[in-house]
């Protein structure tokens, strides 16, 4: 909340405003995007609901999101006159600026959803008759520009968008990042789509010394630029952008890339599209993209057999027996994460870390890096008080390491772990590293420091090493550069094995290696595509994603 308010204040100051309100609306207005807050009792969308112009898809009027509502299909002069009257009443009550921005947003969203940008144009002309500050003007024109995004690019006269763009080009750079980003999608409907890249670079450069304003990550808008490049025949631009940002994309952007490129099947061969999308690993498109794929094949006069399948333990397709490719992570991006951890450990725990670097240099790479503290806690539950209990836990841990983890294993833990187990873990395939703290290091924050040693060793041993732990170390991931957060999460999910404890007939810990297939694999007779579906009731927990293999036989 504090960070968002700082962003708000910085944005207003950039536009020449010095004050802002403290209240947060419960809906999702344009005012929130612009960094301007309004009083809770101001709820302009309720008037739209009462007039029957918008209807929530779900029975929840407390969290109405205009983009997700159903809208009346043909707004005309009668609705415009009613809106003008309602807006005048809102002004007469001397409400703050955010309520006016919210009202504008609702009107422009209606124009977009009903595919009538001329309705937004009439509204903009009415509003511009009155004197307003730069912030309101930029907001209003951006709303009008975005009303065109409800149409396909072929239905749009790009001159209308470009005229608006030229009008606000000099002022938009002073907006907050969310407002600025609103120019990207409509501009990508024109032949000047490449301007987006230069605009974003200039904007991010202009806010380098403003900590409260978040830089724009072009990867979050990549699908708009890539689709535009293909529309205008710039394949080289699209391929270069996908290759550059493939490790920084989100699930939503990847799915929109699939949708947009498959819908251009009249220009792009399906084989080329799948080969290009196959560059993006670790993110699967939604199952609904299979229907787009079928339609793309039909448009190109092909009728391949598409069968729902799954991957066997031998990493083959159960339908045709073809080998399925495994995901790989960018070595360059992994090195960036490793460099960040190196910097942290070298700064705060240099004495132990320098010893650790020499240790890794002597021993080379490991097949498994074991979070010793976590594994031991699975056996002891933190209650190994007697010598016999500690010896038993050490024996169980050794049994697990030798039985479930073939190959060379590195066990990392705090010094107390190895004091508990003594020499029990001695074995040619088991190497141990105790994380000791010097007197100076004990004075610093040492929470989870052994986790950083585990991460560094696993990165040192890539690409084939696994982390053995039930801790996905999200706290450490949050300290990385923001653009690495998604990549780090995917790498941890793919390279971490979470052992499970069984108690019958005896206490035993088991660990199964999982296989992460590529989203797209080219085979001799066709393609194999992995999609994912999330149950409707589950919105946040990606662990519930269910992958499905589709066998495409041409």
- Report pLDDT digits (tens) over 419-455: 778 788 889 999 999 987 655 545 444 446 788 999 9
Please give the distance of CA 47 from its chain centroid, rounded to a whole number. Answer: 35
Range 273-298 average pLDDT: 90
Report pLDDT digits (tens) over 448-504: 678 899 999 999 998 889 999 988 888 888 888 888 888 898 898 888 998 887 776
Indicate if the pLDDT at residue 35 is higher than 80.
Answer: no
What does the alpha-carbon distance between residue 210 and residue 461 come to, in Å, rounded to a whole number?
38
Indicate if the pLDDT at residue 34 is higher than 60.
Answer: no
Contact residues for 129 (Cβ-Cβ < 8 A; gap 6+): none
What does the alpha-carbon distance between residue 420 and residue 372 come to, in Å, rounded to a whole number?
12
Range 181-204 average pLDDT: 93
What is the DSSP secondary structure assignment for residue 379, as one 8-state letter? Answer: H
Phi and psi of 215, rounded to 5°? -65, 155
Give the model's confidence band at 275: pLDDT under 50 very low, under 70 low, under 90 confident, else very high. Answer: very high
Residue 385 has a pLDDT of: 66
Range 238-264 average pLDDT: 91
Q: pTM of the entire structure?
A: 0.79
Range 282-296 average pLDDT: 89
Indicate if the pLDDT at residue 288 is higher than 50.
Answer: yes
Indicate if the pLDDT at residue 200 is higher than 90.
Answer: yes
Residue 2 has a pLDDT of: 40
Residue 533 has a pLDDT of: 61
Report pLDDT digits (tens) over 83-126: 999 998 888 776 677 788 889 999 999 999 999 999 999 999 99
Tell me how far apart the terminal alpha carbons of the chain are, to the nearest angstrom.
53
Indicate if the pLDDT at residue 524 is higher than 60.
Answer: yes
Give the model's confidence band at 396: pLDDT under 50 very low, under 70 low, under 90 confident, else very high. Answer: confident
Give the model's confidence band at 223: pLDDT under 50 very low, under 70 low, under 90 confident, else very high. Answer: very high
Range 400-420 average pLDDT: 88
Percent of the chain with pLDDT over 70: 85
Indicate if the pLDDT at residue 65 is higher than 60.
Answer: yes
Residue 423 has a pLDDT of: 82
Among candidate residues 420, 460, 138, 476, the one with its CA nearest the CA of residue 331: 460
- 153 class by beta-carbon count within 10 Å (0-12 exposed, 13-18 middle, 19+ buried): middle
- Residue-wise DSSP of 237-259: HHHHHHHHHTTS--HHHHHHHHH
Indicate if the pLDDT at residue 359 is higher than 70.
Answer: yes
Q: Could you check whether the bond before residue 337 is cis, i.e. omega within 30 degrees of 0?
A: no
Indicate if the pLDDT at residue 539 is higher than 80.
Answer: no
Range 61-80 average pLDDT: 82
Helix (H) or strand (E) holding 548: strand 546-553
**Average pLDDT across the chain, whole number:** 82
| Most confident of the ranges 129-143, 209-223, 356-370 | 356-370
What does the alpha-carbon distance between residue 176 and residue 34 come to, in Å, rounded to a whole number?
7
Beta strands in 80-218, from DSSP E residues, in sequence order: none
Among candidate residues 265, 200, 198, 199, the one with its CA nearest the CA of residue 227: 265
């Amino acid at each position: 909340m504090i960070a968002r308010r700082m962003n708000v204040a910085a944005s207003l100051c950039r536009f020449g405003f010095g004050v802002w309100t403290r209240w947060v609306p419960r809906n999702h207005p344009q005012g929130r995007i612009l960094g301007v807050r309004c009083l809770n009792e101001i709820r302009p969308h309720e008037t739209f609901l009462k007039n029957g112009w918008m209807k929530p898809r779900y029975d929840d009027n407390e969290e109405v999101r205009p983009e997700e509502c159903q809208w009346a299909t043909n707004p005309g002069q009668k609705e415009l006159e009613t809106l003008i009257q309602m807006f005048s009443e809102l002004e007469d009550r001397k409400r703050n600026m955010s309520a006016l921005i919210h009202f504008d947003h609702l009107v422009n969203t209606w124009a977009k959803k009903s595919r009538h940008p001329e309705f937004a144009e009439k509204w903009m002309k009415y509003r511009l008759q009155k004197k307003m500050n730069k912030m309101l003007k930029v907001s209003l024109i951006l709303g009008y520009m975005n009303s065109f995004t409800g149409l396909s690019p072929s239905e749009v006269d790009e001159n209308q968008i470009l005229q608006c763009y030229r009008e606000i080009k000099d002022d938009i750079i002073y907006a907050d990042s969310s407002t600025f980003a609103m120019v990207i999608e409509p501009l990508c409907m024109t032949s000047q789509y490449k301007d987006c890249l230069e605009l974003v670079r200039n904007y991010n450069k202009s806010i380098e010394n403003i900590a409260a304003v978040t830089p724009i990550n072009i990867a979050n808008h990549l699908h708009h630029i890539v689709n535009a490049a293909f529309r205008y025949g710039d394949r080289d631009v699209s391929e270069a952008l996908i290759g550059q940002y493939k490790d920084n994309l989100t699930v939503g952007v990847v799915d929109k890339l699939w949708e947009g490129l498959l819908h251009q099947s009249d220009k792009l061969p399906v084989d080329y599209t799948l080969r290009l999308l196959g560059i993006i690993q670790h993110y699967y498109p939604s199952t609904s993209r299979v229907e787009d794929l079928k339609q793309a094949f039909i448009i190109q006069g092909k009728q391949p057999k598409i069968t729902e399948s799954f991957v066997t333990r031998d990493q083959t397709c159960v339908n045709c027996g073809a080998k399925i490719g495994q995901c790989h992570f960018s070595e360059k991006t992994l090195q960036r994460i490793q460099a960040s951890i190196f910097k942290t450990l070298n700064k705060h725990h240099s004495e132990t870390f320098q010893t650790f670097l020499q240790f890794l240099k002597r021993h080379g790479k490991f097949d498994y890096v074991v979070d010793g503290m976590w594994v031991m806690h699975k056996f002891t539950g933190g209650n190994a008080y007697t010598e016999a209990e500690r010896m038993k836990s050490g024996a169980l841990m050794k049994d697990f390491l030798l039985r479930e983890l073939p190959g060379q294993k590195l066990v990392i833990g705090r010094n107390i772990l190895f004091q508990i187990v003594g020499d029990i873990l001695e074995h040619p395939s088991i190497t141990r590293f105790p994380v000791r703290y010097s007197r100076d290091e004990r004075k610093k924050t040492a929470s989870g420091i052994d986790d950083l040693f585990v991460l560094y060793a696993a990165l040192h041993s890539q690409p084939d090493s696994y982390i053995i732990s039930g801790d996905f170390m999200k706290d450490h991931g949050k300290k990385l550069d923001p653009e690495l957060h998604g990549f780090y999460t995917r790498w941890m999910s793919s390279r971490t094995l979470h052992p499970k404890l069984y108690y019958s007939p005896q206490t035993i810990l088991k660990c199964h290696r999982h296989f992460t297939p590529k989203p797209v694999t080219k085979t001799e007779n066709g393609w194999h595509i992995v999609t994912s579906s999330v149950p409707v009731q589950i919105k946040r927990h990606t662990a519930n994603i269910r992958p499905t293999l589709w066998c495409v036989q041409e």
